Amino acid sequence: MEQKTEVMGEAAVPTQEPERQMYFMEQVKALVKRRSEEKGRPLTCCINTFGCQMNARDSEKLLGILEQIGYVESDSEDADFVLYNTCTVRDNANQKVYGRLGYLQTIKRKHPDMLIALCGCMMQEATAVEKVKKSYSHVDIIFGTHNIFKLAELLYRKLAGEKMVIDIWEGTDEIVEDLPIERKYPFKSGVNIMFGCNNFCSYCIVPYVRGRERSRKPEDIIAEIRRLVADGVVEIMLLGQNVNSYGKNLEHPVTFAQLLRQINEIEGLERIRFMTSHPKDLSKELIQAMKDCEKVCNHLHLPLQSGSSRVLKVMNRRYTKEDYLALVDRIREAVPDIALTTDIIVGFPGETEEDFQETLDVVRRVRYDSAFTFIYSIRTGTPAAAMEQVPEEIVKDRFDRLLAEVQKISGEVCGRDAGTVQKVLVECLDDHKEGYVTGRLTNNTVVHFPGDASVIGKIVDVYLEESKGFYYMGKPVENMEG
């Protein structure tokens, strides 16, 4: 296919992606090389990631581009290039970033040629970009969630002399494949299957900052997973704001259940995880696929948010308390030993004590392995922000009661596999106990047992000697004879 180009200065620059970014990576690589020769050392970069696993995966892509350009990763923010991949799901996430920008300014005063960039969900908010332009003019590059693949081009524009490079897209239907990625773990990886969300839950800012749902082609996803497995990955986490609605915008629609079955066929892949599932469209077909596909881990994260059908309606969640409980029954019928975790918001506008009791009732009936519990946070621009807020002290009291109930039940259900031998994917050395390693069961529960770095990334049989509430202490099976 003839590569379309545009003329920039003397150069013919490709207009299509990813060729265009490959071109800019080469241009910036030369500039970075010259700078590092001047300094007599490689240039360093530091990416600080806020928020969810989608952001963590985006940061692996951003690091892949920076390393391709010639930067070396550093954990210190005293680096030549510092990038914040921001989150805006709750207001305190924004405040955290503003606080850090002040600190970065002190570093930049000592290193004036240091570059600072911001991207991610917070930068999709016009008010935040205006605040950065006005109060943090030491920031060099600002981009959003839809064009993270353009980092090399934006860096080129900055190094070519632009004052503050700002490139925020309202939305996009573009998905750019085949750019370099530097993943954090050699043995496991997140894999984006779709981007954006069309659900517009009334408290949530995500649809406004991540745009409309668009799914990657199944063949691109399968090809990426095959490359990952060939590169040593045994476990993948399929990522999407709502994976259950995967494939709806594809030219040839494919359901999430069908995609799971295809991925389950991949040789060498051992474990498949996925998040996040919206209860409103977790189909019978998907439950059957979870049952049939032996590589699908027996853990499901199924956000409830509230147990009150009245509140769920105002949240625009499109399921009732009864729908949710019936769904849990269907899932447990198909996968009896599945671990269920959830997200619950306390203090949603208008929530009464009766509503809260409904939430406690669901928690007692479902008996979650664990739950992420959140105090409702006003997000400017969402419908719920304009609603009457529940007084803080009432919310705090409910939050404490909910947490106590969740932790009591979690402590009771998490130990159910004690005294059995289970398969553990070893993730790292145990940073609390010398001579021990840490790993996870397929139901995501943590296990600590004697071992060394040679078993990291391997799936080993471990006898679960004792449950400590939220984790197990174990013994590698091959040591059982001793």
For residue 264, the 8-state DSSP code is H
Residue 350 interacting with ligand SF4 (CB under 6 A): no
> Judged by CB under 6 A, does residue 54 bind ligand SF4?
no
Bond before 15 cis per omega within 30 degrees:
no
Please report how close the Cβ of residue 301 comes to ligand SF4 at its closest, in angstroms: 11
Candidate ranges 128-136, 192-200, 258-266, 368-376; the one touching ligand SF4 (CB under 6 A): 192-200
Q: Write a three-state SS string for 301-361.
A: ECCCECCCHHHHHHCCCCCCHHHHHHHHHHHHHHCCCCEEEEEEEECCCCCCHHHHHHHHH
Q: Which of 126, 200, 292, 408 binds ligand SF4 (CB under 6 A)?
A: 200
Q: Does 199 bind ligand SF4 (CB under 6 A)?
A: yes
- Give least dist CB 199 to ligand SF4, A: 4
Tell me: does residue 372 bind ligand SF4 (CB under 6 A): no
Residue from the set 141, 204, 302, 402 that interacts with ligand SF4 by CB under 6 A: 204
Phi, psi values for residue 190, rounded to 5°: -80, 150
Of 115 and 286, which CB lies nearer to ligand SF4 in the complex structure?
286
Residue from 207, 383, 411, 476 binding ligand SF4 (CB under 6 A): 207
Complex with ligand SF4: residue 228 or 315, whichever CB lies closer: 315
**Within positions 277 to 296, which residues make up the interface with ligand SF4, using CB under 6 A?**
278
Give the whole-angstrom CA distance, residue 117 versus residue 130: 15
Q: Answer yes or no whether residue 206 interacts with ligand SF4 by CB under 6 A.
A: yes
Question: Parallel, antiparallel, or unpaired for β 339-346 and 235-239?
Answer: unpaired
Main-chain dihedrals φ then ψ at residue 245, nearest 5 degrees: -100, 25
Q: Which stretch binds ligand SF4 (CB under 6 A): 196-204, 245-253, 396-404, 442-450?
A: 196-204
- Written as six digits, the tokens of 450 are 């004697």
Task: Count Cβ atoms below 10 Å from residue 447 Cβ, excluding itself.
Answer: 25
* Residue 301 near ligand SF4 by CB under 6 A: no
Min dist. Cβ of residue 185 to ligand SF4 (A): 25
Count of positions on this chain that bind ligand SF4 (CB under 6 A): 10
Number of H helices, E strands in the chain: 13, 21
DSSP 412-446: HHTTTTTTSEEEEEEEEE-TTSTTEEEEE-TT--E
Residue 171 found at the interface with ligand SF4 (CB under 6 A): no
Binding-site member from 197, 257, 297, 340 for ligand SF4 (CB under 6 A): 197
- Residues 42 and 36 sit within 8 Å (Cβ to Cβ): yes
Strand spans (E) along 25-163: 44-49, 72-73, 81-86, 115-120, 141-143
Q: How far apart are CA 222 and CA 225, in angstroms?
A: 5
Please state, as a whole number, how many other Cβ atoms lie within 10 Å of the Cβ of residue 6: 10
- Of 196 and 457, nearer to ligand SF4 (C-beta) is 196
Whose Cβ is closer to ligand SF4: residue 14's or residue 207's? 207
Q: How far is the CB of 155 from ligand SF4 (least distance, A)?
A: 30
Region of 130-138, 195-203, 365-373, 454-462 interacting with ligand SF4 (CB under 6 A): 195-203
- Through-space distance between the first and last CA atoms of the chain, rounded to whole angstroms: 65
202 binds ligand SF4 (CB under 6 A): no
**Shortest CB 385 distance to ligand SF4, Å:** 14
What's the min distance (Å) between Cβ of 306 and ligand SF4? 12
Site residues for ligand SF4, 211-270, by CB under 6 A, read 241-242
CA distances from 119 to 58, 140, 191, 192, 208 (A): 10, 11, 20, 18, 15
Binding site for ligand SF4 (CB under 6 A): 197, 199-201, 204, 206-207, 241-242, 278
